[in-house]
Amino acid sequence: MPSSLTQTQRIPNLETLRFRLVDAKEQVVGRLASQIATILMGKDKPTYKPNICDGDIVVVKNAAQIHFTGRKWDRKLYRWHTGYPGGLRQQTAKDLLQKKPEDVLKNAIMGMLPKNNLRKEMNLRLRIFAGEGHPFKDHPQLTLFEMPHRNIRTKKGEADTLVIPEGFQPVNPVAFQKRKEMLEKRKPRAGQ
């Protein structure tokens, strides 16, 4: 028979419960998923306890515009079994994004949540939308979540700015421009 203390711990504190809006546009899946998992677990609050689900409600928009690094769009496979003999199925991340764009981010987030009884409750606090529109637009407690700055690692001896020789034509101009913009925005490290 559960004690009354255990029952009161499961009731969420509505004063501390926040609605966090996350814009997934142009974000890397793994970085975004780890930040959202931290919010769902409540680790960003000073009242965090691992046995209590005290996380916030997370609303994610633009889930169809997320990115993977490297060649993961073609090489990352999602596998499941139908339960019948020979029923192992698999799907690439690119195919899953076309069919169910929300599931790519949801699978990454669920993989980062603890595998215990609180996982279902944390899953209920997650709302992912493929596009810009969502039903929480007019909610008074909805606050925008800012992703922390991404530190881009450089190879040893590589300069922080790109030196472009005369007559240089990049093979991939879009990727070259993104890299150039990221290096220009980059904050200098301490001691430099």
Asked whether residue 117 is domain-assigned, the answer is yes
71-93 confidence digits (pLDDT tens): 999 999 999 999 999 999 999 99
pTM for this prediction: 0.71
User: Which ranges of 78-130 would DSSP assign to H, the alpha helix?
Assistant: 93-99, 101-112, 119-124
Say whether both 33 and 92 belong to one domain: yes
Say whether both 143 and 156 belong to one domain: no
Exposure of 186 in the CB half-sphere (CA atoms within 13 A): 20
Give the chain's domain count: 2
Say whether both 165 and 133 belong to one domain: no
Provide the sign of the torsion angle of the four alpha carbons 3, 7, 13, 19, taken in this order.
positive
Say whether both 90 and 173 belong to one domain: no
Say whether both 113 and 166 belong to one domain: no
Say whether both 70 and 93 belong to one domain: yes
Say whether both 27 and 107 belong to one domain: yes
Say whether both 180 and 116 belong to one domain: no
Structural domain boundaries, residue 25? 15-148
Residue type, 118: L
Q: What is the mean pLDDT of residues 53-61?
A: 92
Element (H, E) at 182: helix 173-185
- C-alpha 42/C-alpha 76 separation (Å) is 29
Say whether both 123 and 186 belong to one domain: no
Asked whether residue 5 is domain-assigned, the answer is no
Asked whether residue 6 is domain-assigned, the answer is no
Asked whether residue 3 is domain-assigned, the answer is no
Place of tokens 């949801």: 106
Asked whether residue 4 is domain-assigned, the answer is no
Q: Is the pLDDT of residue 37 over 50?
A: yes
Element (H, E) at 20: strand 19-23
Say whether both 43 and 19 belong to one domain: yes
Q: Is the pLDDT of residue 141 over 70?
A: yes
Q: What is the mean pLDDT of residues 89-107?
A: 95
CATH code where residue 111 lies: 3.90.1180.10
Q: Is the pLDDT of residue 185 over 90?
A: no
Say whether both 19 and 81 belong to one domain: yes
Q: Is the pLDDT of residue 161 over 70?
A: no
Say whether both 118 and 37 belong to one domain: yes
Instruction: Report whether 122 contacts 113 (CB < 8 A).
Output: yes
Asked whether residue 172 is domain-assigned, the answer is yes
Q: What is the mean pLDDT of residues 96-107?
A: 95
14-31 confidence digits (pLDDT tens): 666 889 999 999 899 999
Asked whether residue 10 is domain-assigned, the answer is no
Asked whether residue 71 is domain-assigned, the answer is yes
Task: Compute the CA torsion angle 105, 107, 108, 109 (nearest 10 deg).
Answer: 90
Q: Please provide the average confidence, as pLDDT, over all residues in the chain.
A: 84
Residue type, 95: D
Instruction: Report whether 147 contacts 35 (CB < 8 A).
Output: yes
119-139 confidence digits (pLDDT tens): 999 999 999 999 998 988 888
Q: Is the pLDDT of residue 52 over 80?
A: yes
Place of tokens 């559960």: 2
